[in-house]
A and B are shown apart, each in its own frame.
Chain A
Amino acid sequence: MRWLLSFLLLALLGAVQALSSSGSRLLVVIEELEEKEKYSQFWGDLKSRGFSLSFESPKNDKLSLFKHGERAYDHLILFPPKSKGLGPNLTPQILLDFINRDGNILLTLSGNSPTPAAISSLLLELDIHLPPDRNALVVDHFNFDSNSAAEKHDVLVLPPPQDLRPGVKNFCSVGGSIAVPRAVGQVLGNESPLLVPILRAPATAYSYNPKDEAEAVEEPFAVGQQLSLVSALQARNSARFTVLGSVEMLQDQWFNAKVETAGKETTTANREFAKQLSSWTFKELGVLKVGKLQHYLTEDGKKFNTSSLSVPEQNPRIYRIKNDVAFTIELSEYVEDHLQPFLPPADDDLQLEFTMLSPFHRLALKPISTTENATVFATSFTLPDQHGIFNFRVNYKRPFMTNVDEKRQVTVRHIAHDEWPRSWEISGAWVWIGGVWVTVLGWLAFVGVWLYCEPMDRKAGVKKTQ
């Protein structure tokens, strides 16, 4: 119900101005406020999408991400500080706490200024590794912009990112190529399923410290596709944390700049990329919302219940084994400023699990209808022949989409004593029922005969003694 209410409010607000699904308060932490002029187009884009921007210097003592124990901002952009660190108000712990409380962070790095230790330790905590050399850059001797970096080869020109794998939506596939000047490459750990690379370096790129040539060539930090220029972490609470390897990408000068690589001159799509990237990070894209979730008996023949949306969930808490049940769930996807029906990509399926310790059923949920802003997925099945406490679980976790993990606990009970078929309905029992009645009637007949038979000789009868 609260879901629905907030959703309604959100829709109302959305009508007034376009806005992220999780609030519009955006804090930009930038050390030198004059610097921000370089990014005016980016700010303009953000403002036009409804964000209210506040700029703060990390040196400001009063800067705090929390107020009265609640988040003071919904989103955070961190610019690489010129000084050693971000100060006591933005320690890794505080930043992690911000994520844990559903705040989104866009962290930018730059090859020009060394990354502070606090930031790299935060990244290490998230299993994102930065090169040990603080001045390391990503260079590529094949995909560089010959206009601006003919010598240093440190301005990469890349095609838009490919799909991560089939069945995953790609929000950053902008039309043109992307210029990545002086980027800090990141290496993503292999363990965490929450990490995804958004923009990977080309196969010929490597991380290189321009100040210390000899060693870097000996043993580069990372090479090729292993280097990620833009990577993202979506926490379990769906808070988003994006690491942008090159802050210069967002500067006006690289928005629609002319670049030349391998003799071909193109216009960069950095503006579009920045828009998509910030939209994704600040939850304007790839946000899934669960609407009404229902499960019910289908014993009476009707397959799916298509009653009106306003009915709140009135799901039964208890079923019986081998009941026929149906399950429906409404999913919508938030796109920029509104909710629209969600459909999984072609190679993907939304699945329902019916689990107790392990899944007893894992069924594909098929879209059966669409409402104005949601798709109704449904399936129906027969409950397993096992009593216990089960969960209807929809566990849909995909890269770039917020996590959907809906559980509804139900009890599946055994068959009650009066739910079994009656004995005469079982043909195999007829023999025994017959036997019972033959015995009963036989005994009655015997008693009758006994009572109506006169004893032949009273004297011959032996008196019963004890």
Chain B
Amino acid sequence: MAVAVGDQFLQGTTGRNTRGMLRVIILCTIAAAAVSSRLFSVIRFESIIHEFDPWFNFRATKYLVQHGFYSFWDWFDDRTWHPLGRVTGGTLYPGLMVTSGVIYHILRLLALPVDIRNICVLLAPGFSGLTALATYLFTSEMSDSPSAGLLAAAFMGITPGYISRSVAGSYDNEAIAIFLLVFTFYLWIKSLKNGSAMWGALTALFYGYMVSAWGGYVFITNLLPLHAFVLICMGRYSPRLYVSYTTWYALGTLASMQVPFVGFLPIRSSDHMAALGVFGLLQLVAFVEFIRYQLPSKQFQTLLRSLVLLIFVVAFGGLVLLTVSGTIAPWSGRFYSLWDTGYAKIHIPIIASVSEHQPTAWPAFFFDLNMLIWLFPAGVYMCFRSLKDEQVFIVIYAVLASYFAGVMVRLMLTLTPIVCVAAAMALSQILDTYLVAKSPSPQVQANGSAETVKNTASSMLPESLRSTRSPLVGIYSYTSKLTIVGSVTAYLLLFVLHCTWVTSNAYSSPSVVLASRSPDGSQHIIDDYREAYYWLRQNTPQDAKIMSWWDYGYQIGGMADRPTLVDNNTWNNTHIATVGKAMSSREEVSYPIMRQHEVDYVLIVFGGLLGYSGDDINKFLWMVRIAEGIWPEEVKERDFFTPRGEYRIDDQATPTMRNSLMYKMSYYNYNSLFPAGQAQDRVRGARLPAEGPQLSTIEEAFTSENWIIRIYKVKDLDNVGRDHASAMAFEKGNKKKRPSKRKGPRVLRVE
């Protein structure tokens, strides 16, 4: 009876409706799973913005909500990059903030006054649900199998490679950008398939949204032209390509130019020239096709071909010339570092110093993608079997993204969607083949997909082999069906387990609040960051300038609401190098720098007591390197290493190291925590010198509970005109030595 009812529901028009209904339900479930698996951090900690960049985005969103869109557009932020300020409205991607702002206002319109912080915290999980949906649509365009899309959506929903940047609280551009990326690709495939200007315009629209949301839009800007170019080279030019590409390019470029930060880049920077070049090439090809259609003469065709080639070469030469002459901006440093992983370390230490710009370690692929990583090549291979326009796209995307993900940890994010799609295609193929209860009959294949598989297989496999002469793909044995289906299910379950484990353990820490486990298993929260930031907020004047390494700039701006010298928007290398120099020089050198920049407080992060390895002493060499890039005469990296080339902080440390402001601030008074001579740094595992460093130009203002954050106040000039060192000595009761015997000629006072 139940079977009969099931059959009734699964056949005919009702069957289609039921399947559609099921699909919707499954997609909703997937979206729910995607959202809920990202809520670990909120449940475990609290609804808080994570890490560094999100704090700026949060602050900008608050500004937007408070002051309205136009003043956000013209926002000049005088609380960062003191004293330069930042034209924030013109140097950010506003998509994220505007999205949250719109959601905020819509909710208010619906009489749901939700705090803007909660919207920001939950934006990324919300959009990850949409990403799953977009992945479903994208994959459905690629594969005939109905299960591929759902599998891809499920993969996309829970794969750690994407979760890493989209847990609740991780309010970063990527939160919405990955959705936009996948959706733009879906629209592009759709418009390419249909040759429709409407879909092309939609592609451009979402491309514009993407440009406003993330700097990674350049990936689309180059991938779509590459796709078009490959299609042309393969001889797959079609009016559909022409319509969709030109529509996208013209409208998309105009849309992207509306973002102030992008402005005229689409026609001036090398990164965007490929799109322009392919646009031109497409016109030529279209023209040639048109001519060929009118005059079908073989000689004329060759002539035109060579003409096309010539024009292409001339245009390319012109582009190179313009680049050399400087009209078109050359490739940016970040771009070079994509090709040469050692480039940044030599030329732009500031880029290399960011951990997410490091090359990816191979276990990271498995960690982030688990079983998808070995299904991925199979899926890509399957694209070759029915190579249509959209499959070419998958192949190109797969190749490019794999390379980029290998070069930069952060670009794992762009690889993840295509891995999910390709893996889903491979897995759905397996399931479609093995999950058929009926045995295939040799003559008439009952299963549609098996039939296509057979046909394509027969067309591709060589005829010489006996076994492939009349290939019949289909499984007869229930044992093998059960084995395969069983193992696939096991893999899928393991995958879910792995994803949950990774999400909960690796990606759900806000990094503003640290957690540790007590011996009895209870959780202990280490909240030094917020303790220190709130100390600043409550105990310092509203416009007290805080100097810290740039990593903490956004957090100080967001949580302590105090002006900072440098922050995570590293637009001014010289200013960062100035801070690096102040940190890595002697006090006598640092003090004038701090005075000039009106610094009131210096904030450092010190993990020595707790064993927190992400502290400033471990980042110190980057400060030195960046400072050395600007002042090679005054700051030398070599001086911070012992003659044997070791980076030490104990009594073997070099004098330069021990006299540097950063070292002194880190270990000032640290001895007092330990019995004499027992001071121990738990991060570096070193015993500190018996006598701690002395500070004269700055004084300790605040040290957090676990000593993670230490804040120092910069002293004013000495009231009676002494230098700080002698003032300190006087304070301690050391009498100034009278110059007993004058050396050399007497210095006379001229006034």
Chain B contributes a number of interface residues (CB within 8 A of A) equal to 39
Q: Which residues of A contact B733 (CB under 8 A)?
A: 93
The contact of A414 among B76, B597, B735, B749, by CB within 8 Å, is B76
Asked if residues B720 and A126 are in contact (CB atoms below 8 Å), the reply is: yes
Given A387-B85, A390-B83: A236 in contact with B717 (beta carbons within 8 A): yes
Asked if residues B83 and A99 are in contact (CB atoms below 8 Å), the reply is: no
B74 part of interface (Cβ distance < 8 Å): yes
B685 part of interface (Cβ distance < 8 Å): no
DSSP majority for the B interface? loop
B239 part of interface (Cβ distance < 8 Å): yes
Nearest chain A residue, comparing its CB with the CB of B84:
A388
Asked if residues A235 and B720 are in contact (CB atoms below 8 Å), the reply is: yes
Asked if residues A190 and B730 are in contact (CB atoms below 8 Å), the reply is: no
Q: Which residues of A contact B82 (CB under 8 A)?
A: 389
Asked if residues A235 and B719 are in contact (CB atoms below 8 Å), the reply is: yes
Asked if residues A190 and B83 are in contact (CB atoms below 8 Å), the reply is: no
Q: Mark A352-383, 1 if CB is under 8 A from B, else 0.
A: 00001100000000000000000000000000
Asked if residues A188 and B749 are in contact (CB atoms below 8 Å), the reply is: yes
User: In the complex, A322 Cα to B596 Cα: how many Å?
Assistant: 24
User: In the complex, A387 Cα to B70 Cα: how many Å?
Assistant: 19
Shortest C-beta distance, B240 to chain A (Å), equals 6
Nearest chain A residue, comparing its CB with the CB of B87:
A414
Q: Mark A401-433, 1 if CB is under 8 A from B, else 0.
A: 000000001011110111000000000000000
Q: Mark B725-745, 1 if CB is under 8 A from A, else 0.
A: 010001101011010000000
Shortest C-beta distance, A140 to chain B (Å), equals 19
Asked if residues B240 and A132 are in contact (CB atoms below 8 Å), the reply is: no
Q: Which residues of A contact B720 (CB under 8 A)?
A: 96, 99-100, 125-126, 192, 194, 233, 235-236, 241
Q: Mark A229-263, 1 if CB is under 8 A from B, else 0.
A: 00001011101010000000000000000000000
Asked if residues B87 and A357 are in contact (CB atoms below 8 Å), the reply is: no
Q: Which residues of B contact A310 (CB under 8 A)?
A: none
A9 part of interface (Cβ distance < 8 Å): no
A164 part of interface (Cβ distance < 8 Å): yes
Given A93-B731, A411-B78: A356 in contact with B239 (beta carbons within 8 A): no
Q: Which residues of B contact A409 (CB under 8 A)?
A: 543
Asked if residues A389 and B719 are in contact (CB atoms below 8 Å), the reply is: no
User: In the complex, A126 Cα to B82 Cα: how many Å?
Assistant: 35
Given A389-B83, A466-B195: A190 in contact with B721 (beta carbons within 8 A): no
Asked if residues B721 and A411 are in contact (CB atoms below 8 Å), the reply is: no
User: In the complex, A147 Cα to B367 Cα: how many Å?
Assistant: 102
Asked if residues B83 and A388 are in contact (CB atoms below 8 Å), the reply is: yes
The contact of A124 among B260, B563, B736, by CB within 8 Å, is B736
The contact of B722 among A125, A388, A417, by CB within 8 Å, is A125
Nearest chain B residue, comparing its CB with the CB of A462:
B293
User: In the complex, A192 Cα to B727 Cα: how many Å?
Assistant: 14
Q: Mark A279-321, 1 if CB is under 8 A from B, else 0.
A: 0000000000000000000000000000000000000001000
B668 part of interface (Cβ distance < 8 Å): no
The contact of A413 among B76, B194, B260, B563, by CB within 8 Å, is B76
B73 part of interface (Cβ distance < 8 Å): yes
Asked if residues A387 and B76 are in contact (CB atoms below 8 Å), the reply is: yes
B751 part of interface (Cβ distance < 8 Å): yes
B747 part of interface (Cβ distance < 8 Å): yes
Given A194-B720, A357-B597, A390-B83: A466 in contact with B240 (beta carbons within 8 A): yes
Nearest chain A residue, comparing its CB with the CB of B196:
A466
Asked if residues B721 and A226 are in contact (CB atoms below 8 Å), the reply is: no
Nearest chain B residue, comparing its CB with the CB of A125:
B730
User: Quick one: which of B587-618 are within 8 Å of A by CB?
Assistant: 596-597
7 inter-chain pairs at a CB distance below 8 angstroms, sorted by A residue, are: A96-B730, A193-B721, A236-B719, A388-B85, A417-B260, A466-B195, A466-B240
User: A-B pairs with the 7 shortest C-beta distances?
Assistant: A413-B76, A416-B74, A411-B78, A192-B721, A389-B83, A194-B721, A235-B719
The interface of chain A, by Cβ under 8 A from chain B, is 92-93, 96, 99-100, 121, 124-127, 132, 164-165, 187-197, 226, 233, 235-237, 239, 241, 318, 356-357, 387-390, 409, 411-414, 416-418, 466
Known: A125-B722, A388-B84. 4 other contacts (CB 8 A): A125-B736, A127-B721, A164-B751, A389-B82
